[in-house]
Structure 1
Amino acid sequence: MPPIHAIAAATHPNPYPYYASLRATTPFFFDTELACWVASTAELVGQIMQNPHCQVLAPASASRAAELFSRLIRMNEGEAHAPLKRRLQQGLAELDLSATHLLLLTQRWLKRLPEGPSLNTLCRHLPVLVLADALGFAPQLRLVEWISQLVAYLSAFSSEAERLQASVAAEHLLAHFSGLRPEHCSLLLQEFNQQVVLANLIGLLTQSYEATAGLLGNSLIALAQNPEVYQRILAGIEPISALVESVAVQDPSVQNTRRVVTQAIEIYGQQLAVGDTILLLLASANHDASSSEHFSFGYGRHACPGQALATRLATVILDAYLCGENRPLPVRWAYQASANARIPQFN
C-alpha cells in the first residue's frame, strides 16, 4: 500500500515506487492536504534549491533552541554565511578526522557504553560521542541526552513540553561547549562570533544524532536484506564504504526538505506566491535516472560541509561493529515518526 502523501513517504517501508510514480505523472503539484507544492524530479529539486527566491525557513520562535538553530549555516541564506562555512570546512580539514583516528575513538566508546552496543545505541549514541571526541569536546553520556532533547525542537511531532526542554538543552550545550574552547577551535572563535561558531559545532552533533544515525541504521538494514553483499564485506571482497555511500543515495536518512517562496515566481508553468511552501523530495530526486546529481547532503549553496565526514563516520562505526563478536543484523524495525527523516528503530 503506497504512502498517503509525500510526507508520510519518509517513514513508509518502501516509498520508492511512490516517488517514481510522482516523477512520471505529477513531478510538480500542489498538495491540498499538506498545503504545499511538491517537487520530485532531480531537475526541479536542483532548480529550486539554487533559486534565490526559494529559501530555508528558519525557526521563528524566540526560544533558546530557536536562537541556536537560527545561527546554523544550513538555516541561513545569502553570502553572509559563506565566510563561516568556508572557515568551518577549513577547520574540519585541520582536524584528525581520518578513518584510523575515528576507528580508535569508536572502539574506545564501544567499551565505555554501559548497556553495550545495542543497534539503537550504536546508531544514535556512538556518532555523537565519537564526533564530539574528535572535535575535542571531552564528551560525556549526558551529551547525547542534551542533543536528543535539542533535536526534538525541529520535529513536527514535538509537544510544547519537549520544545521547552529543547531550550533548556540548548543552554546546557552552549554552557558546556563554551567552557571547553578546544585549541583547534581558537582561531574560529577569534574570527567569528563565539555563539555562532559553537552553535554550528553543536549543529554538526545534531546532524550526527539524526542523519548519521539514519545512514548507519539504513546500512544495517541493507546488509540484512542483502546477505550476499554482507558475506562479500565479511570476506574483505567489498569495502564497507561502498555500501554506506550507496545507501546514502538509495535510501537516504533525509528524505525531504522545505523551501519558502520569498518573491513571486513561476516554476514548471505554475505561479507561486510569496509565502508558498515547497516540499523537495530529495530521496525521489536521487532515484531520477535522468540525472547523476545526488541531494542527500544538500545541493549548491546549501551543500553540507560534513558530507565526507558523515559517510566516513558511519563506515567506521559499522566496521567496528561488524568486527566484534556476536554482532547480529536487524530482524525487525519500524521508522521513527518524522516528517522528513528515515531513521529506523530496531526491536
Structure 2
Amino acid sequence: MDPIIAATHADPYPYYAQLRAAGGLVFHQQLQLWVASSAAAVAAVLAHPDCHVRPFAEPVPKAIADGEAGEVFGRLMRMNDGPRQQCPRAAVEPGLAMIDQDDVRALVRARLLTADADGLNKAMLRDPVRVVAALLGFTPDQERMISDLTADFVACLSPLSTTAQLAAAHSATEQLRGYFIELLEIPGVHSSLLTGIRQRAADLDRETLIANLIGLCSQTCEATAGLIGNALVTLIQNPQLPGGADEFLAEVQRFDPPVQNTRRFVAAACEIDRVSLARGDTILLLLASANRDPLLNEQPDTFLIDRPNRRSFSFGAGRHQCPGQLLALTIASATLTQILAMKPALERLSWVYRPSLNGRIPVFHWFE
C-alpha cells in the first residue's frame, strides 16, 4: 500500500491511521513527495499562500497542453491561484449558494431511475451533470449530451488517461464549448443561475467564462458520483443505519469521501507543521485521513449520523474550498432518496472502485 493506491483500496483507513502516527507531514521516499496525513498538517497546507494548486513550471499537464482540453484546463478557477482563481470564483460561487434546493430535487425526481446495477451507475455517473445542465438552461436533449461530453472531458484530468481518452477529451471539449457558446447567445435564457453568473462575470473574457461553466459540470461529475456511490456502499455494509438522507450524507462525506486526496505545489521555501519545504516540493494531502484524525473528530472511525460539531476536509478548505458543496449534497441527497424509494436489492450488489489516483467511486454489479 502507498498513499496513492490507498484511494481505491477496499479499506484504506487503518493505513491512514498508521501514516498519522508516523507524523502529520512526512516525506515519502518511494513517491518522492511530502504526505500530509493529519488534520493539522492538511489545514496548514491548504491555508498557506505559498502552496499552489499547480506546479509553477507546468500550469497545464503536458499530456493535454496542446489541445482544446488544455485550453480549458488552464482557465479553470480550481486550477489557478490569485486573480485567475478569484475572478471566476466571484462570478460562479454566489449563484451556487442561491440555488433553490426544491428545484434541484424536482429535477432529480424527473430522471428515470431503475433499481438495477446499471440504473444505479447511471444515477451516480450521468444524472448529476444533467441536473446542473438543466439549472444552466439546457434542454433535456442537450442535458444528455452535456453529461456524456463532460464524462469524456473529465477523463483527461487523470494521469491514468489513455491516448484514446485524451483524444476523446479534446473532441468533447470542443463540442462543450460549442454548446455553451450557443447557450450564451440565447436572449433571455430561462436560468436564474446562468443569468446571475453572467452579470457577475462582466469583466471575464468569454473563454474564461465558458471554461468555468464546463468546470462546474466537470466538478459535479465524479465528486457527486462518488458521494452517491459511497453512500450506497455504507448502506450495504450497515443496513440498519437510521436517519434521513441529508443527515446520512453529511456523515458519509466525512467518513468515506469521494475525493481522498489532493495536491499542492510549493512556490517558495517555507515552513509548515515544523517541516522545512523547498520551492518545487510536492505535497499530497490525504483529506480522507484528516477526516479520521481524532484531534478533528471524536470517535472518527465510528459512523455517527447525529455527530456533533462534524468537521471535514472532503470539500477542501480555504481559498480553494469547493463552491458547489451545497449543490453536490442536495443532488446526492435527492438521488439517494429516489433510489431507496425504489427498494433496490442492495444485498445483491457488488462493486469495484474505478481506477483513480485520488477519487473513490464505486461501480456496481449484480451478483447471484
TM-score, normalising length: structure 2: 0.85
Q: Which runs of 4+ in 1 moved over 6 A?
A: none
The residue identity in structure 1 corresponding to 2:162 is S
Contact 2:262 2:287 in 1 (8 A): yes
Identity, in percent, stands at 40
The residue correspondences of 1:128-277 to structure 2 (distance < 5 A) are 128-138=129-139, 139-181=142-184, 182=189, 184=192, 185=194, 186-229=198-241, 232=242, 238-277=243-282
What is the CA–CA distance in structure 1 between the aligned matches of 2:46 and 2:255, rounded to whole Å? 20
Could you list the per-position Cα deviations for residues 228-282 of structure 1 after superposition, in whole angstroms to 9, with x for gaps in the alignment? 11xx3xxxxx211111110111100000000111112233443322211110000
The residue identity in structure 2 corresponding to 1:7 is I
Give the superposed CA RMSD: 2.0
Contact 1:109 1:129 in 2 (8 A): no
Aligned to 2:338: 320
CA drift at 1:124: 0.3
Aligned to 2:125: 124
Using the TM superposition, name which of 259-268 and 116-125 deviates more. Answer: 116-125
Aligned to 1:283: 288
What is the CA–CA distance in structure 1 between the aligned matches of 2:216 and 2:344, rounded to whole Å? 28
Could you list the per-position Cα deviations for residues 125-182 of structure 1 after superposition, in whole angstroms to 9, with x for gaps in the alignment? 1111112112212233232221111111111211122112211111110111110124
CA drift at 1:66: 1.6
TM-score, normalising length: structure 1: 0.90
How many residue pairs get matched?
332
The residue identity in structure 2 corresponding to 1:148 is A
Q: Secondary structure at the match of 2:31?
A: coil
What is the CA–CA distance in structure 1 between the aligned matches of 2:70 and 2:87, rounded to whole Å? 22
The residue identity in structure 2 corresponding to 1:264 is A
Contact 2:35 2:284 in 1 (8 A): yes
The residue identity in structure 1 corresponding to 2:226 is G
The residue identity in structure 2 corresponding to 1:71 is R
What is the CA–CA distance in structure 2 between the aligned matches of 1:338 and 1:329, rounded to whole Å? 24
Contact 1:10 1:340 in 2 (8 A): yes
What is the CA–CA distance in structure 1 between the aligned matches of 2:33 and 2:264, rounded to whole Å? 10
Using the TM superposition, name which of 249-258 and 290-299 deviates more. Answer: 290-299
Could you list the per-position Cα deviations for residues 8-49 of structure 1 after superposition, in whole angstroms to 9, with x for gaps in the alignment? 000000011111111112322221221211110011011011
Q: Which of 1, 14, 34 pairs up with 1:17?
A: 14
Contact 1:11 1:336 in 2 (8 A): yes
The residue identity in structure 1 corresponding to 2:82 is G
Contact 1:110 1:116 in 2 (8 A): no
What is the CA–CA distance in structure 1 between the aligned matches of 2:143 and 2:42, rounded to whole Å? 39
The residue correspondences of 1:20-99 to structure 2 (distance < 5 A) are 20-57=17-54, 58-60=59-61, 61-95=65-99, 97-98=100-101
Aligned to 1:340: 358
Higher helix residue share: 1
Unpaired segments ≥5 residues, structure 2: 298-310
Q: Secondary structure at the match of 2:156?
A: helix
Q: Secondary structure at the match of 1:62?
A: coil
CA drift at 1:116: 9.5
Using the TM superposition, name which of 21-30 and 150-159 deviates more. Answer: 21-30
Unpaired segments ≥5 residues, structure 1: 233-237
CA shift in 2, pair 1:269/1:116, >3 Å: closer
What is the CA–CA distance in structure 1 between the aligned matches of 2:165 and 2:87, rounded to whole Å? 33
